[in-house]
Amino acid sequence: MEPAAKQKVIYITYLVAALDITWLFLQFSITPYLARRLGFDTIWFGYLQTTVGVIQLLGGPIYGRFADVFGARAALSVSCLASVVYFLLLAVADNTFMLFVHKLPAVFMHVLPGAQMVVADLSENEKRADALGKLGLCFGIGMIAGSSLGGTLSTQKGSSNSVFNLGEIMRLMKFPGVAKTFTVKIISGLPAGIFQVMFSIIAINFFQLKAEQNGYLMAYFGIVQMVIQGAVIGRLTSRFSESSLLMLSVGISSLVGLAQAMMTNVFHFCLIVIPMMFSLSVFNVITDSMLTKSVSPSDTGTMLGLCASVQSLLRTVGPTIGGFLYEAYGVPSFGYIQCIINAAVFSFLLNTGGRSQPNRP
């Protein structure tokens, strides 16, 4: 292909990735409310999430191998087709059984890895890191748009209550404890967000992984996350206070950052993944729980949409910050920054007693 034609395909791939991530995060915001409407309790919703983890666990290696055999274009096409079927099934999911069934196409829903394959195939070696970094920007844009739209649709509110309304944001921040927890969520989540958007580049350049190997690594992520969310978090939240678990997750995240700074190969990273996924999962669940308990029930969806939007905004600026750190200081810089920032947040929580905010008014 001519260079101009290759660049055109890359731009189209960016658009496809941004749109797919938008719809994906829109359904992330809506599904909990749909599940509640259909009678799901916390345990059954956990089963639903575990089902997704199992499905994607099975699909990751298969998808990677499919891409190696049939090419990136075919793999991305299959992912997009699976997404269409997925959302059509979600549209007609009016009972418990259909809510589980609509998750089945997720076995082939790997649009972002597919887009990475296309971009990696078509970009020149010296421009590959930059091209892949822009996919991270597409990911952040999709998360912002999808999470915000999903939060608005979930609460069925008018434009005056949009998460982009500054007055609405300030009103939510005035609830007791919200500003503190929200600030902790942003600051502590920044290093992890930068690492996540840069991981595709780290996997290719630092770990030297091929598409199939990256698929196995993603499957390993799925296993760890499935175990933590399905068997660990529920037991921890029933035995320990939210403030204690928040401090625990931030403290472990700081140690994870130090370990990331010292890792030299993918085996080291596989060992780090376990505490990393634990800290991320506990941190996200606990902060979301604390924030939603501090606002009125009618503001729950708006608060969750706001949380997702701000984190997505961090991931949007993440490629620029991450690209600079990667080129100037290398992969260890991500770990050192995560270690220092989370150690500071941990000290702040320790000095303030890590008090959780009171229940919603």
DSSP for 108-134 reads G--HHHHHHHHHHHHS-GGGHHHHHHH
At residue 260, the pLDDT reads: 92
Which tens digits make up the pLDDT trace of 43-72?
676 677 777 777 877 777 677 777 767 877
Q: For the residues of 39-107, what is the DSSP string, one character each?
A: T--HHHHHHHHHHHHHHHHHHHHHHHHHHHHH-HHHHHHHHHHHHHHHHHHHHT--SHHHHHHTTGGGG
At residue 186, the pLDDT reads: 84
At residue 159, the pLDDT reads: 42
Task: Supply angle C-alpha 57, 62, 65, rounded to 5.
Answer: 135
Which tens digits make up the pLDDT trace of 222-277?
788 777 877 787 778 778 888 888 999 999 999 999 999 999 888 999 999 999 98
At residue 274, the pLDDT reads: 92
At residue 293, the pLDDT reads: 76
How far apart, in whole angstroms, are the C-alpha atoms of residue 173 and residue 258?
32
Enter the tokens of residue 161: 């209550």
Q: How many CB atoms lie within 10 A of CB 327?
A: 9
How far apart, in whole angstroms, are the C-alpha atoms of residue 248 and residue 241?
11
Amino acid (one-letter) located at 351: N
At residue 345, the pLDDT reads: 93
In degrees rounded to 5, what are phi and psi of residue 153? -65, -35
At residue 257, the pLDDT reads: 93
How far apart, in whole angstroms, are the C-alpha atoms of residue 312 and residue 307?
8
Name the average pLDDT for the chain: 78
At residue 340, the pLDDT reads: 95
Handedness of CA 281, 283, 288, 289 (dihedral sign): positive
Task: Supply angle C-alpha 53, 57, 59, rounded to 5.
Answer: 120
How is residue 159 annotated by DSSP?
A: G
Nearest residue to 76 (alpha-carbon basis) of 13, 134, 129, 128: 13
At residue 251, the pLDDT reads: 94
* 338 contacts 254 by C-beta, under 8 angstroms: yes
Judging by beta carbons within 10 Å of its beta carbon (0-12, 13-18, 19+), is residue 334 exposed, middle or buried? buried
Q: Which residue numbers in the chain have pLDDT < 70?
A: 1, 29, 32-33, 41-43, 45-46, 61, 68, 125-130, 132-133, 136-137, 140, 143-144, 147-148, 150-169, 200, 211-212, 297-319, 353-361
How far apart, in whole angstroms, are the C-alpha atoms of residue 265 and residue 106?
30
* 134 contacts 319 by C-beta, under 8 angstroms: yes
Place of tokens 């418990």: 96
SS3 331: coil
Place of tokens 């978090």: 233
At residue 162, the pLDDT reads: 44
Nearest residue to 243 (alpha-carbon basis) of 360, 358, 361: 358
Nearest residue to 320 (alpha-carbon basis) of 103, 54, 137: 137
At residue 157, the pLDDT reads: 58
Q: Residues of the chain with pLDDT > 90: what percent? A: 13
Radius of gyration of the chain from Cα atoms?
Answer: 20
Enter the tokens of residue 67: 């891409």
At residue 339, the pLDDT reads: 95
Helices 178-201 and 166-173 pack at an angle, to 10 degrees, of: 120
How far apart, in whole angstroms, are the C-alpha atoms of residue 316 and residue 334?
16
At residue 344, the pLDDT reads: 94
Among the residues of 208-265, which ranges form H helices? 211-227, 233-239, 242-262
